[in-house]
Amino acid sequence: MSEGDALDAAVGGTPTRRLLAEAAGRLRAGGVGSPEHDAAELLAHVLGTTRGQLVLVDRVEESTVGRFEVLVARRAAREPLQHLTGVAHFRHVELAVGPGVFVPRPETELLAGWALDAARAVLASGRGPVVVDLCTGSGAIARSIADELPQAEVHAVELSPDAHQWAARNLAGTEVDLRQGDFALAFDDLLGTVDVVVCNPPYIPLEAWESVAVEARDHDPHLALFSGDDGLDAIRVLARRAARLLRAGGVLGVEHADEQGPDGAGGGAPAVFAAIGDWLEVRDHTDLAGRPRFTTARLAR
């Protein structure tokens, strides 16, 4: 028995710092991109505390160590962190997530922020904004808008029955009108009345299968990931449907892949809207890393 093991046996438990270092090493060896962060999140989860409060925990009881190591092994096998904790943080809200629903990414928070700004501009003009979130998934964008701008009338739709159940859970207690169905056909009752359409659709090309991160490829629903040979099929449908939903002068924002910005093949997502006479002010926006991330456009008056 080493001197450290003897001390652990005498005092009880494992030093938190050592436990985290060893876990981070296993996660790094498994190819996890943020091993220190994920190790700390998993330990905080099993302890029922926050990552920031771990500095107050000197040692971890052996019964807890066992539970933690099970989760570390699963994360090292590239099971999504959010599936292990059951929680995804998005802007100012906490979402329940798990198998069957796309885990919202931090990059999408920028699209949600744009939608909020667009809705606030409508509110400033003296009208209550009507916002539609197509392909809502976990309900992340719809929930954020309802949370940060309660004056907005928010509608959301999701095709997958499994994802719809997660969205219903996350939107419970809000006034969001959540429906299950195909975004290409949804909200006939709102045609010509919507101020803001926002959408995080599937946009990965089928040929990019091998390049997709293991966490997404093996655990996110493929319905939320892949969209035709160039990844733009859903965006093409969106361009037509949003033109029917929006009132004259209404705006749309849609997320896309890095390679689908204006410098992408065929002009990427912006070219889809530029090619249709319904759309003006077609602009592309970058994420915090400077990568093309989402396109916005205004419906012609």
Summarised one tens digit per residue, pLDDT across range 78-120 is 989 999 999 999 999 999 999 999 899 999 999 999 999 999 9
Min mean pLDDT across 37-41, 166-170, 256-260 is at 256-260
- Checking if the pLDDT of 264 tops 70, the result is yes
Using one digit for the tens of pLDDT, what is the confidence trace for 214-238?
A: 766 666 667 666 666 788 989 999 9
The label of the residue with tokens 């009338």 reads 153
**Furthest-apart CA atoms within the chain: distance in Å:** 78
Using one digit for the tens of pLDDT, what is the confidence trace for 62-83?
A: 989 999 999 999 999 998 999 9
- Identity of the amino acid at 67: R
Mean pLDDT of 48-62: 91
Instruction: With cut-offs at 50, 70 and 90, classify the pLDDT of residue 210.
Output: low
Quote the pTM value.
Answer: 0.88
Its CATH architecture, for the domain 3-77, is Orthogonal Bundle (1.10)
Mean pLDDT of the chain: 90
Four-way CATH pick for 91-299: 3.40.50.1360, 3.40.50.150, 3.30.460.80, 3.40.710.10: 3.40.50.150
Q: Give the distance, in angstroms, between the CA of residue 112 and the centroid of all CA atoms in the same chain.
A: 10
Between residues 209 and 240, which one has the greater pLDDT?
240
For residues 200 and 47, what is the distance between their CA atoms, to the nearest angstrom?
34
pLDDT of residue 215: 63
Of 209, 234, 219, 226, the residue nearest 100 (C-alpha): 219
Mean pLDDT of 186-194: 98
pLDDT of residue 277: 87
pLDDT of residue 7: 45
Question: In terms of DSSP bridges, do strands 93-96 and 87-90 run parallel, antiparallel, or are they unpaired?
Answer: antiparallel
Which residue ranges make up each domain of the chain?
A: 3-77, 91-299
- Identity of the amino acid at 149: L
Helix (H), strand (E) at residue 289: none
